[in-house]
Amino acid sequence: MKIKNQEADALESNMTLAEFGNAMRQINFDGVPAHKRPAAIMDHLMKIMATAITDKEKAQEIHISRILHQRKHG
């Protein structure tokens, strides 16, 4: 069995939990078909993460990953 310390793997952020909740509430589903909403939520989460984490290298990785995912899945 492998034990993983998720707190040790966490990235530092400049956002509080309340700010994160408010940011997630800003998602707009207008024009998003029901079957694409889970992907839209994940994209919104990644966008928030990329702007909130203090490790700029990881933020850039997340941003590039979002762009590549959008190109692949439209």
pLDDT in tens, 39-57: 999 999 999 999 999 999 9
What value does the CA radius of gyration of the chain take, rounded to a whole number of Å? 14
3 — pLDDT class (breaks 50, 70, 90): confident
Q: State how far Cα 65 lies from the chain centre.
A: 10
pTM of the predicted structure, to 2 decimals: 0.79
pLDDT tops 90 at residue 34: yes
Kindly list the domain boundaries of the chain, sorted by start residue. Answer: 11-21+35-73
Q: What's the token pair of residue 71?
A: 């190109």
- If phi > 0 it is left, if psi is from -120 to 50 it is alpha, else beta; for residue 70 that is alpha
- Residue 25 sits at the vertex; the CA angle it makes with 50 and 14, to the nearest 5 degrees, is 35
